[in-house]
Structure 1
């Protein structure tokens, strides 16, 4: 799930997953962090979900995926779009 909050000239996007699906550590990786799995690990929010927040420029589109333990890559079914192997978020 994606949550958005408008900022001046940017949009704060929060990438949200259930706490235990999939089990183990998960990161959001995309063109906004040079596909670096260490840049945005999801952390527990205490409400049964975990999340990572990124501020992205307005009026753009970004490709992303999630990377879980065991080199398990997966998409966000609630993304704005999909372009083959990647999920897309529009700001």
Structure 2
């Protein structure tokens, strides 16, 4: 799931997954963090989900995917679109 919060000149996008699906650590990787899995690991929240937030410039589009333990790549079911194998988010 994607959550959005308007910021001055941009949008904070929060990437949200259930706490245990998939099992183990998960990161969101994309063109906004140079596809670096260490840049935005999802952290557990009190509501039973885990999330990572990224501030993105207004009126932009970005490709991303999730990377879980065991080199398991997967997409966001509620993404704004697709870019080949990647999910897309628009701000």
Equivalent residue runs for 1:66-85 within 5 Å: 66-85=66-85
Aligned to 2:43: 43
Structure 1 runs of 4+ aligned residues shifted over 2 Å read: none
Equivalent residue runs for 1:46-65 within 5 Å: 46-65=46-65
Between stretches 23-32 and 76-85, larger displacement belongs to: 76-85
Structure 1, unpaired ranges of 5+: none
**SS in structure 1 opposite 2:51?**
strand
Instruction: Give the whole-Å Cα distance in 2 for the aligned partners of 1:84 and 1:30.
Output: 13
| Shift, 1:11, TM fit | 0.2
Instruction: Give the whole-Å Cα distance in 1 for the aligned partners of 2:15 and 2:71.
Output: 19
| Shift, 1:84, TM fit | 1.4
**Count of matched residue pairs:** 91
CA RMSD of aligned residues (A): 0.4
What TM-score results when the alignment is normalised by the length of structure 2?
0.99
What TM-score results when the alignment is normalised by the length of structure 1?
0.99
Deviation readout 1:37-58 (Å, 9 max, x if unpaired) = 0000000001110000000000
Structure 2, unpaired ranges of 5+: none
Deviation readout 1:6-43 (Å, 9 max, x if unpaired) = 00001000000000000000000000000000000000
